[in-house]
Amino acid sequence: MAQNIYPMSEEYEEYLIDESKYSGYADSISFPKSEEEVAGILKELSQKGIPVTIQGGKTGIVGGAIPKGGHLMNLSRMNKALGFWEEEDGTGRIQVQPGINLIDLKKEINNLFRKNPQFWPVDPTETSASVGGIAASGAQGINRILYGKSGQYIESVRIMDYEGQVTKLCRGESKALSGNECVDALTLALGKEGITGIITELTLKLLPKPEAIWGLAFFFEKNEQAAAFVDGLKEEMPKNDFASIAAVEYIGKASLVMIEESRPFMTRIKELPGIREEIEAMIYMEVHGQEEGIEEIAEQLMELAMECGGDPDEAWAVSEEAEIEKLHIFRHAAAEMVNLFIEKQHRKDRRITKIGMDMMCDGTFGQTLGSFEKELSALGLKGCIFGHAMENHLHVNILPESYEEYCKGIELMQKWAVRIGKEQSIFPGEHGIGKLKKEILGDLLADAYIEQCKKAKELFDPGEMLNRGNIWN
């Protein structure tokens, strides 16, 4: 076995499970630090016909980076910034390896663009996520309503096939698939969960940092009040020439209770004010722009919150970067509490993994939220609901106390998928499909999406040696 390929052993067991508690197995593992090392490892593996699973920061929740045999290639040590520059329009570019995480990326950008501060608008709350993993899974973040999808801020990637050949895919270039179908070259890598190749380098598009950013949080004693607030924003979103709302995030009662119970053990969160037991919902918002414009929007939001039953004395408003970071940690804690709960249940029963809904629904926010709450209650299931309110893009995470409840939860998720699928084809959400959602949703996934993935696979990995088991069997 090559010097940088290691036999799988207990030392590396942590790499065989992700945040969903979906687990796997492999014969060997590697940690390349460069594109050249990736090519060298693939050369040895391809000679023996060994399949490869690609892994980043292990923060996935659908089992997409968990192997089912063969070799596991972890890219977390490919974590360097390789180059940077500014374009004439004032936007920046930074070239990075795929293993750099969001925390280190932010540090690099702040250090490299001191004269004209820039930022990467893609803002998932999991700051230990790798950029390559974000690209591969289609992760989004909380600021999508202002800045758009994450793929807009990836200009190009270098992608390596199983034979070690590198192709550069650039935005705006076309690639032909079978059947004379042409697609944007980048779509062959972004959101494809590693089935088309190994991303070895990315060029990211940056934007000038807003002059100011405010984080706001409103609290409501009734879910109906929070829903009325969100639907009020949908009718008329406050805006002006100097500032815009970037994020509108809902966090429900179950999540708030779990966060409050864990507050003593969470250093940054315990610095925030406590939340009353009577509170059923929190809406976290961000406003980006110039101070005068932000203040005007904040006043309008406060008025709407009061009209919907919120108490202005309980609202949070912060503008310092460190304080906003605390609110980001609070929002991420909603997801982290689910992961910790599932981890505890998984220790009791290894059959239990994370099950959750990640699809956008039609209708008002109130209708969407009410429907999920009602159906969970009817089956006697507990669930944590949080997510991107303006798009009705809620993450509904079922919290099973037993394997029986786990099975009920899967049936309910399948029922939701059938219903939503009648309204719109089911495409992957912002976490991908991986192996876990594939097993749960199966034939309910959009045929058109699966077909395009198969064509891309045929183009780059006809031998089906990379990330086997993701998206389809």
Q: Could you read off the pLDDT of 126-158 as tens digits, one per residue?
A: 889 999 999 999 888 899 999 999 999 999 999
Average pLDDT, the chain: 92
> Which percentage of the chain shows pLDDT scores above 90?
77
- The answer to whether residue 75 scores a pLDDT higher than 90 is yes
Q: Could you read off the pLDDT of 378-388 as tens digits, one per residue?
A: 999 999 999 99
Q: Which CATH architecture has domain 5-77?
A: 2-Layer Sandwich (3.30)
* One-letter amino acid for residue 381 of the chain: L
What's the fold here for domain 81-208? 3.30.465
Topology match between the domains 5-77 and 212-325 = no
- pLDDT of res. 427: 55
Given the structure tokens 């406060």, which residue do they identify? Answer: 302
Q: Could you read off the pLDDT of 29-68 as tens digits, one per residue?
A: 999 999 999 999 999 999 999 999 999 999 998 899 999 9
DSSP assignment string, 170-231: ETT-EEE-GGG-EEEGGGGTTTSTTSS-EEEEEEEEEEEPPSEEEEEEEEESSHHHHHHHHH
Average pLDDT over residues 360-367: 90
- The answer to whether residue 421 scores a pLDDT higher than 80 is no
> What is the model's pTM?
0.92
- The answer to whether residue 253 scores a pLDDT higher than 80 is yes
- The answer to whether residue 425 scores a pLDDT higher than 50 is no
Range with the poorest average pLDDT among 18-27, 80-89, 239-248: 18-27
Most confident by average pLDDT, 97-106, 264-273, 428-437:
97-106
* Residues linked to residue 268 through DSSP beta bridges, in sequence order: none
- pLDDT of res. 448: 78
- The answer to whether residue 348 scores a pLDDT higher than 90 is yes
Helix (H) or strand (E) holding 255, with range, is: helix 253-262
Q: Could you read off the pLDDT of 3-39 as tens digits, one per residue?
A: 699 999 999 999 999 988 899 999 999 999 999 999 9
- The answer to whether residue 1 scores a pLDDT higher than 90 is no
CA angle 220, 226, 230 (to 5 degrees): 145
- pLDDT of res. 2: 64
Average pLDDT over residues 211-228: 98
- pLDDT of res. 266: 87
- Where along the chain do its domains lie? 5-77, 81-208, 212-325
CATH number 3.30.70.3450 given to 212-325: yes
> Which percentage of the chain shows pLDDT scores above 70?
97
Single out the residue of 58, 102, 110, 113 nearest to residue 79, CA to CA. 102
